């Protein structure tokens, strides 16, 4: 098969011909029809993820068709249209037994713990626990955005964030996950403020339901702007980018007893990120993380997509070939762009 491969962190990836995977006993091989290009892939390419060993094939957001199954797989057959959360759970650990497969103690992640979906085929573990059937009306390109960014944003806003109609919600960073959060919060009846340095991203945020947009490139204290716009601060704020500046701005933009959700990854040379904890104590803020969404939670989200309440298809702003993926991956560090870029490995 053809796949994007990098042999050294931070150095250009290339498209190579490599051996196609075979399914494990409880796993499947999926023919990848579409796979999302995500900032998390860029973090992995940069060497920020300790699970990656070289050489490596990135890619963790995907949709496609089951090509082959392991002998112990009972729920899936070749030809089934599927997607998968980026966290593939074991199904048997205490976290999985409690329904929290998104924090499985023995999780695997395509594109991180093993070779991923920037390829024509990808192997996935514990298929009966992790695969999600795709409605016929959902395109592969749209479905590819669900496994990480859209599902992560859905759980961050609805479950972890406990969004309520009429609340002020601030979204810091309007890439794929941030725009998803804007759309989901607005559809939930919240008043959304979008923050980004890209005017294109802010235009999309406004299109997806943001009632206010803050241009962070102009140099304002974005937290102060949000507190002013909301008459005291947001009820719920998400750092959808992942940087010390956006994390601090999100916490500082909250009103008393507000809720901060950290979605974007926060790598740093020291391994820690400063957080304004004095404010968290004084205002009794909640600081929570959000890490994907388990496969069993997808039906509720998919029903909202099927009903047209949520439109993840509108988030896909670019479709590229596998040959264009290495350059697009490198560009994620400086010019992530607005919306979601989808790679079609067979085009």
- pLDDT tens string 14-69: 999 999 999 999 999 999 999 999 888 998 999 988 889 999 999 999 999 999 99
Distance CA 170, CA 330 (A): 28
Bridge-based pairing of strands 316-321 and 132-133 is unpaired
Find where tokens 């350059």 sit.
327
What is the pLDDT, as a whole number, of residue 171? 98
Q: What are phi and psi of 32, to 5 degrees?
A: -80, 115
234, 193 contact by CB (below 8 A): yes
Closest among 289, 277, 214 to 251, alpha carbons compared: 277
What does the pLDDT look like over 181-209, one tens digit per residue? 999 999 999 999 999 999 999 999 999 99
What does the pLDDT look like over 123-178, one tens digit per residue? 999 999 999 999 999 999 999 988 888 999 999 999 999 999 999 999 999 988 99
Q: In what side-by-side order are the strands of the sheet with 234-239? A: 212-215, 191-196, 168-172, 234-239, 254-262, 286-289
DSSP bridge partners of 169: 192, 236
204, 339 contact by CB (below 8 A): yes
- Could you tell me the two tokens for 312? 């993840």
Q: What are phi and psi of 327, to 5 degrees?
A: -70, -40
Query: What's the sign of the alpha-carbon dihedral 10, 15, 18, 21?
Result: positive
Cβ-based neighbour number of residue 13 at 10 Å: 23
Q: pLDDT confidence of 269, banded at 50, 70, 90?
A: low
What is the pLDDT, as a whole number, of residue 220? 81
Rg (CA), the chain: 19
Question: Counting Cβ atoms within 10 Å, is residue 11 exposed (0-12), middle (13-18) or buried (19+)?
Answer: exposed
Bridge-based pairing of strands 168-172 and 191-196 is parallel
What is the pLDDT, as a whole number, of residue 332? 86
Percent of the chain with pLDDT over 90: 88
Helix (H) or strand (E) holding 261: strand 254-262
Indicate whether 329 pLDDT > 90: yes
Q: pLDDT confidence of 334, banded at 50, 70, 90?
A: confident
52, 4 contact by CB (below 8 A): no
Q: What are phi and psi of 193, to 5 degrees?
A: -115, 125
Q: pLDDT confidence of 263, banded at 50, 70, 90?
A: very high
- The alpha carbon of 103 is separated from its chain's Cα centroid by a whole number of angstroms, namely 15
Mean pLDDT score across all residues of the chain: 94
Percent of the chain with pLDDT over 70: 98
Distance CA 199, CA 187 (A): 22
The 8-class DSSP code of residue 86 comes to S
Indicate whether 298 pLDDT > 80: yes
Distance CA 275, CA 298 (A): 32
């Amino acid at each position: 098969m053809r796949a994007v491969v990098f042999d050294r962190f931070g150095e250009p990836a290339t498209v190579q011909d490599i051996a196609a995977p075979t399914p494990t006993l409880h796993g499947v091989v999926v023919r990848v029809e579409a796979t999302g290009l995500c900032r998390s892939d860029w973090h992995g390419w940069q060497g920020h993820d300790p699970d990656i060993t070289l050489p490596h094939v990135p890619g963790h957001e995907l949709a496609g068709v089951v090509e082959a199954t392991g002998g112990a797989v009972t729920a899936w057959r070749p030809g089934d249209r599927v997607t998968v959360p980026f966290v593939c759970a074991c199904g048997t650990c205490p976290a999985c037994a409690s329904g929290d497969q998104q924090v499985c103690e023995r999780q695997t992640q395509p594109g991180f713990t093993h070779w991923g979906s920037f390829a024509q085929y990808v192997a996935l573990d514990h298929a009966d626990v992790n695969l999600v059937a795709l409605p016929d009306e959902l395109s592969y390109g749209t479905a590819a955005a669900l496994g990480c960014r859209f599902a992560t944003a859905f759980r961050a806003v609805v479950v972890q964030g406990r969004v309520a109609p009429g609340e002020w919600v601030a979204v810091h960073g309007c890439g794929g996950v941030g725009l998803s959060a804007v759309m989901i919060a607005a559809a939930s009846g919240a008043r959304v403020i979008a923050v980004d340095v890209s005017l294109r991203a802010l235009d999309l945020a406004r299109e997806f339901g943001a009632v206010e947009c803050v241009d962070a490139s102009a140099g304002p204290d974005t937290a102060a702007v949000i507190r002013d716009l909301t008459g005291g601060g947001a009820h719920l704020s998400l750092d959808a980018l992942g940087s010390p500046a956006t994390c601090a701005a999100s916490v500082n933009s909250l009103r008393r007893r507000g809720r901060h959700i950290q979605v974007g990854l926060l790598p740093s040379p020291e391994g820690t990120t400063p957080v304004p904890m004095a404010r968290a104590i004084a205002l009794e803020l909640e600081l929570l993380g959000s890490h994907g969404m388990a496969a069993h939670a997808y039906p509720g989200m998919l029903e909202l997509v099927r009903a047209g309440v949520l439109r993840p298809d509108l988030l896909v702003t670019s479709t590229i070939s596998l040959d264009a993926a290495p350059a697009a991956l490198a560009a994620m560090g400086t010019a992530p762009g607005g919306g979601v870029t989808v790679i079609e490995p067979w085009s």
